[in-house]
Amino acid sequence: MMANFFLLLGLLAFTCSLSLAFEPSPLQDFCIADTMSSASLNGRVCKDPKLAQAEDFFPRLHLVGNTSNSVGSKVTPVNVAQLPGLNTLGISIVRIDYAPWGINAPHTHPRATEILTVLEGTLYVGFVTSNPETRLISKILQKGDVFVFPIGLVHFQRNVGYGNAIAISSLSSQNPGVITIANAVFGSNQHIASEVLMKSFQVEKNIVDRLQTIF
Ligand SMILES: *[C@@H]1O[C@H](CO)[C@@H](O)[C@H](O)[C@H]1NC(C)=O
């Protein structure tokens, strides 16, 4: 009897922790972020639903991103910061433009799985599984192909075609977050001490200094 009780308790705790690891289900049709409110909570305050307009649910991603930068790609995000209607819905979208040989550098989304569709061009994409396996799972994608980057895993894309490439990615959070590995490690505001990075990457101080200057 007692054993059953503890089994049930364990099961309950397990399912609760599972559901808490993701964005909660909405408790109403929608909850358009009130961009005027300064109240701070897990998500955004809803504006009066009677004031809902099509524009709250209507992002535009027709503009080509400017890829004239060091990596040759541009991510145009549409998350709750750009589109208030996404608040509490657990979803968002980005457009990614790539110049020839442009890359979307290795990064991770702490709060979302990503599903990418190639609209134009050819992309080499991949992600790396977590320790201790750290296995690269990669693929060359053509127009119309779709690829999934599981939540939290480090992933990247590179344009390996002849012209520009375009992708659309959907993400399972209104606010997926992004951690670009090189920027986080070598470009943090207040640098990580060189000794930490030298030993972590097994390189000399001049290399760490150089990377810290770049990022
Ligand atoms: C694209 O970005 C570059 C570098 O920031 C800038 O010089 C250029 O004017 C931009 N092009 C357009 C069309 O905005």
Nearest CA to ligand 1 atom 11: 66
Binding site for Mn(2+): which residues? 107, 109, 114, 155
pLDDT digits (tens, 9 = 90+) for 44-85: 999 999 999 999 999 999 999 999 999 999 999 999 999 999
Bridge partners, 96 (sequence order)? 75, 167
Average of per-residue pLDDT across 157-169: 98
Judging by beta carbons within 10 Å of its beta carbon (0-12, 13-18, 19+), is residue 96 exposed, middle or buried? buried
Binding site for oxalate: residue ranges?
Answer: 104, 109, 114
**Ligand 1 pocket test: which of 63, 64, 66, 69 has the largest number of ligand atoms within 8 Å of its C-beta?**
66
**Cα 183 from Cα 97, distance rounded (Å):** 20
DSSP 26-69: PSSS---B-TT----BSB-PBPPGGG--GGGG-----SPP---S
Q: Ligand 1 centre and the CA of 68: distance in Å?
A: 6
Residue nearest to atom 7 of ligand 1 (CA): 68
pLDDT-derived band at 38, boundaries 50, 70, 90: confident
The structural architecture, per CATH, of the domain 49-177 is Sandwich (2.60)
Closest CA to 116 of 69, 78, 149: 149
What mean pLDDT, rounded, does the chain reach? 92
Token pair for 157 = 């894309």
In the annotated binding site, the residues are: 104, 107, 109, 114, 155
Q: Where in the chain is the domain with CATH 2.60.120.10?
A: 49-177
- CB-defined site of ligand 1, < 6 Å: 66, 68
Query: What is the average per-residue pLDDT within 180-186?
Result: 97
| Span from the CA of 76 to the centroid of ligand 1 (angstroms) | 15
The per-residue pLDDT for 95 is: 98
Distance of CA 67 from the midpoint of ligand 1 (Å): 8
Model confidence over 94-131: pLDDT tens digits? 999 999 999 999 999 999 999 999 999 999 999 999 99
